[in-house]
Amino acid sequence: MISVRRRGGTLRARVHHMFADAPDRVLRALARYIARADRRDSALLGGFVEANHWRIRHPRRARRPVLNPIPSGRVHDLAEILGDLNRRYFAGAIDARITWGHRTLRAGHRQSIKMGSYSVEDRLIRIHPALDCPEVPRYFVEWIVFHEMLHQVFDIPTRNGRRQFHTPAFLARERKFEHYEEARHWERRHLDRLLGGS
Ligand SMILES: [Zn+2]
């Protein structure tokens, strides 16, 4: 956090970058602490370091909005489903978090509603909260989660200027899901009604 070297009559201090935008009060305490190791300054600096601890542990994430995944729903437990699929299909190789998304259904946008999404930067899978109800069978939720997990496995090549999210290899792998046909069938029969909320 703070290291001090004395050379001749000069003190040289290196401090953590969290002090770069510290308030003057803290900087003055820092200077006094380096010169005299005063206990009151030490306490003040300790409080500052404590309050800025997140910058040490997650320096990259600190700039992103805080994510607070909510994986257990009223009916389906996404963390359990993710862990189960990870073991069964990926030998535990998927490194991702999962959460129910926010309810942001907008009338007139039914066709564009995405049941799931995957954020590469956050390694976060979001599942549409409309799926968290007893009418939706577990294998259907599994299928959506499985699809998003595949996005961590497959690259997104650009073909003719367009990003190809679902390559033939991706789609072939997707068909390996145990309940693939059932899930697609269920989707065709039920999803409009489900997302319509009626
Ligand atoms: Zn996809």
Answer whether residue 65 shows pLDDT above 80. Answer: no
Q: Say how many Å lie between the CA of residue 117 and the centre of ligand 1.
A: 7
pTM, two decimal places: 0.62
pLDDT bracket for residue 96 (50, 70, 90): very high
Residue 198 confidence (pLDDT) above 70: no
Minimum mean pLDDT range among 54-58, 84-88, 108-112: 108-112
Rounded to the nearest whole angstrom, what is the distance from the C-alpha of residue 151 to the centroid of ligand 1? 7
Residue, of 145 and 158, whose pLDDT is higher = 145
CA of 27 to the centre of ligand 1 (A): 50
* Lowest-confidence segment of 6-20, 36-50, 106-120, 131-145 by average pLDDT: 106-120
Which of 22, 19, 24, 44 minimizes the C-alpha distance to 33?
44
pLDDT of 79 over the 80 cut = yes
Give the mean model confidence (pLDDT) for residues 93-102.
93
Question: Left if phi > 0, otherwise alpha if psi is -120 to 50, otherwise beta: which for 10?
Answer: beta
Ligand 1 centroid – CA 147 distance (Å): 6
pLDDT value at 34 more than 90? no
> Mean pLDDT throughout 61-81?
78
Buried b (16+ CB within 10 A) or exposed e, 29-63: bbebbbeeeeeebeebbeebbeebeeeeeeeeeee
